[in-house]
DNA sequence: GCCTATAAATGGAACGTTCCAATAAATCAA
DNA sequence: TTGATTTATTGGAACGTTCCATTTATAGGC
């Protein structure tokens, strides 16, 4: 039962009565070998229980066919979905991507990147951790390893980015709220160290300005991008003198938190306080009430990123064009009816 | 900008004016080299932008320090949580695990396992895909690679398993429902090809028998282990002549689906129909109503699995003891008040 | 039969490390 | 000084593949 030393191509060469070179050719599916010989070799491979040593092969080939996906938070279904989208296209290209999680920790990310480089990855798709320093990808660039950013970008970097049109999405969402009659809007969650945050907040602000909301009526509260963060945002917002009546949330997790906190105060998300999410994760549809959210086609962007990566590897380049994915607002129930048809105030005690 | 050929230890040896062997020793942190020499070498490494070639090293060492985690469904937060628990302990052991997703597809799993073996993994933690054939892990065993199953097990296999006490968890849940006065119980979701299913269903059945529920009053409906599956289960259950008044669900996703379906029929989860989940994912607490569920300490089991793996690698064995994790029922709101204090039947059109 | 062309298979060098045995340098005991 | 001991450093072989240049076998043309 205890397997002796690992079998090599020499062992199977002996078994099949051919040379190691022949075995190598069979392994690579070369058309140069006679079919009967190939059969013989393949049988020997099976008999001996040989397993190919890709490390040894890469030593010679310097082209490793492993692709890494570095994800900032695997427990966020949004990123899990992204990963799955990428996997789909890699699978049909016959390659198995390895996923690594950085848990939103730049130090961990550094380790992960180092490890992947040492492993000799052919390319990397990365959703960078919050607080990634500008130099974090220098070594990758020096080594000429193709990298693409997915969903997030770094402030100044020449690495291609695949991301949704955050500005537009936020604009649409804000316009929706304003169209429903809201005049005091908030932007909940996220922190300004994320470029995505700047983009979304930018779109939000532009909509407010364009559509005639006074600056003093737009409230911005930073916070964790989680349910917990959403709860906190709502609490501080409602504690203000003139609380907002609606909010665009940095992402769906924050929005879920906001709705939770509303419920806890016996306020009905929608009629009492309108909330819009961002990303449109699968749960959004199933929530009570169903969450209105900006859909970004996560899996589609993942697929796109994978395709770009494949093309970069194939053409041995480290450059590619950015790709900004279309977004659209999925209107469900979390914004309630038009505000102007009624007048119950949101907030702790304000009046309409 | 275009990096020339990759630097090797020879390059940095030349740069530092030492031999390749010295460089190798420095790389391994050997205490044999004079500190000043080590400093010199490390500087050269930095200057040249050297990246360690682990493939080449493994060729010599035959001990690769990469550990693979093969997960059947990364989009299920339950498994994502498991993965994160494992990562935590590997991280503190200084090793970077690679995650691969099989998407519950045995064929895909086969590819993934093959790829990981070729990569020369030191060990594998696997949550096997549904429908995995008994022979799927034969090659791993032949190669003497340590493997641990997490959460799921295969019908007959000598591979060690880390999993929660499914039988007991289901027993507790069923007992809870019966204690609340329910007399017609259902078990929703899952399929019998999963050992976990057998275990949970077994615990459920045992509780029913022991606590005096007639066999004809326990209903078992197989189904997808997803929200969708839960919806379907509830529909068929309520279509029966004498529908159950409560259900234990195979997992939380099914439970969420059941609650959704209840809402759609204007029935209140809890008062109108009691539902219990299994796994206690984070969302359970945040649902409306909050889901009563069997907590299995997912992350803890992940950590445990990782520790076992580490120990197996260290002691070069392929055997280890199974570990069955404690479970406990977390009672929240989805089972409503005691049933005997009221008497509205659940069902398609019952009235109060 | 001989020469050439094609097809199939092969040996050797290389890839970038590690590890062992060996060397060189420094220190010490006498 | 000499030999023994310790401390630092080094060259060479090996790991399991690929690829190139050859060799050997097979067939074809005359």
* CA–C1' nearest nucleotide, residue B62: D15
Contact B103 A111 (CB under 8 A): no
Give the residue from chain B lying closest to A112, CA to CA: B96
pLDDT at B4: 54
Instruction: Indicate the length of chain A as a whole number.
Output: 352
Q: How many other CB atoms sit within 10 Å of the CB of residue B219?
A: 18
Residue A54 neighbours by CB under 8 Å, 6+ apart: A64, A65, B55, B118, B119, B120
- From the list A49, A55, A263, which residue is nearest B59 (CB)? A55
Of all residues in chain A, the percent with pLDDT exceeding 90 is: 85
- Work out the pLDDT band at A210, boundaries 50, 70, 90: very high
Mean pLDDT over each residue of chain A, to the nearest integer: 92
Q: Which residues in A lie closer than 8 A to residue B317 (C-beta atoms)?
A: none
Show which of residues 251-290 on chain A sit within 8 Å of chain B, judged by CB atoms: 256, 260, 263, 283, 286, 288
CA distances (Å), A296 to each of A20, A305, B77, B239, in order?
A: 52, 14, 20, 38
CA–CA dist A340, A158 (Å, integer): 47
Q: Which residues in B lie closer than 8 A to residue A62 (C-beta atoms)?
A: 6
pLDDT: which is higher, B75 or A69:
A69
Contact B51 A111 (CB under 8 A): no
* CA–C1' nearest nucleotide, residue A50: D16
CA distance B143 to chain A (A): 6
- Work out the pLDDT band at A288, boundaries 50, 70, 90: confident
| Nucleic acid strand C within 7 Å of B61 CB | yes
Q: How many other CB atoms sit within 10 Å of the CB of residue B321?
A: 9
Give the residue from chain A lying closest to B319, CA to CA: A2
Mean pLDDT over each residue of chain B, to the nearest integer: 92
Of all residues in chain A, the percent with pLDDT exceeding 70 is: 95
Is the pLDDT at A349 greater than 80? The verdict is no
Residue B352 burial by CB count (10 A; 0-12/13-18/19+): exposed, middle or buried?
Answer: exposed
Decide if A9 contacts A45 (C-beta within 8 A).
Answer: no
- Work out the pLDDT band at B76, boundaries 50, 70, 90: confident
Residue A214 neighbours by CB under 8 Å, 6+ apart: none
Q: Does A63 touch chain B (CB under 8 A)?
A: no
Paired residues of A190 in beta bridges: A223
CA–CA dist B288, B310 (Å, integer): 41
CA distances (Å), A111 to each of A106, A200, B94, in order?
A: 9, 30, 9
Q: Which residues in B lie closer than 8 A to residue A64 (C-beta atoms)?
A: 55
Is the pLDDT at A350 greater than 50? The verdict is no
pLDDT at B33: 94
Token duo for residue B68: 């693979």
* CA–C1' nearest nucleotide, residue B60: D15
CA–CA dist A324, A252 (Å, integer): 20
Strand C positions with any atom < 7 Å from protein CB? Answer: 7-12, 14-20
Give the residue from chain A lying closest to B5, CA to CA: A143
C4 C1' to A32 CA distance, Å: 21
| Nucleic acid strand C within 7 Å of A20 CB | yes
Residue B179 neighbours by CB under 8 Å, 6+ apart: none
Is the pLDDT at A345 greater than 50? The verdict is no
Decide if B174 contacts B207 (C-beta within 8 A).
Answer: yes
pLDDT 10s digits, A64-95: 889 999 999 998 889 989 998 999 999 889 88
C29 C1' to B18 CA distance, Å: 32
pLDDT 10s digits, B188-221: 999 999 999 999 999 999 999 999 999 999 999 9
Q: Which residues in B lie closer than 8 A to residue A80 (C-beta atoms)?
A: 74-75, 77, 80
- Work out the pLDDT band at B5, boundaries 50, 70, 90: low
Average pLDDT over residues A180-199: 97
């Amino acid at each position: 039962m205890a397997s002796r030393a690992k079998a090599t191509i020499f062992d199977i060469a002996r078994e099949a009565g051919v040379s190691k070179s022949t075995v190598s050719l069979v392994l690579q599916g070369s058309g140069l070998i006679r079919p009967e010989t190939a059969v013989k070799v393949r049988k020997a491979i099976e008999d001996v229980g040989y397993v190919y040593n890709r490390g040894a092969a890469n030593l010679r080939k310097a082209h490793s066919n492993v692709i890494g996906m570095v994800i900032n938070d695997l427990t966020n279904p949004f990123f899990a979905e992204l990963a799955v989208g990428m996997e789909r296209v890699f699978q049909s290209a016959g390659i198995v991507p390895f996923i690594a999680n950085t848990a939103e920790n730049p130090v961990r990310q550094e380790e992960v990147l180092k490890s992947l480089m040492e492993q000799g990855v052919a390319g990397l798709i990365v959703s960078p951790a919050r607080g990634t320093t500008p130099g974090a990808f220098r070594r990758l660039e020096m080594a000429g390893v193709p990298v693409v950013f997915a969903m997030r970008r770094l402030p100044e970097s020449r690495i291609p980015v695949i991301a949704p049109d955050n500005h537009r999405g936020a604009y649409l969402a804000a316009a929706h709220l304003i169209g429903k009659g809201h005049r005091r809007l908030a932007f909940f969650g996220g922190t300004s160290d994320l470029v995505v945050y700047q983009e979304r907040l930018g779109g939000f602000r532009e909509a407010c300005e364009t559509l005639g909301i006074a600056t003093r009526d737009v409230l911005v509260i930073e916070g964790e991008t989680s349910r917990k963060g959403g709860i906190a945002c709502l609490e501080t917002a409602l504690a203000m003198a003139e609380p907002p009546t609606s909010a665009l949330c940095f992402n769906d997790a924050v929005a879920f938190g906001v709705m939770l906190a509303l419920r806890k105060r016996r306020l009905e998300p929608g009629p009492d306080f309108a909330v819009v999410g961002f990303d449109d994760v699968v749960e959004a549809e199933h929530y009570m009430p169903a969450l209105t959210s900006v859909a970004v086609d996560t899996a589609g962007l993942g697929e796109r990123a994978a395709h770009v990566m494949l093309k970069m590897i194939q053409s041995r380049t480290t450059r590619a064009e950015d790709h900004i994915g279309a977004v659209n607002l999925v209107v469900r129930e979390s914004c309630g009816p038009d505000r102007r048809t009624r007048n119950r105030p949101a907030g702790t005690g304000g009046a309409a």
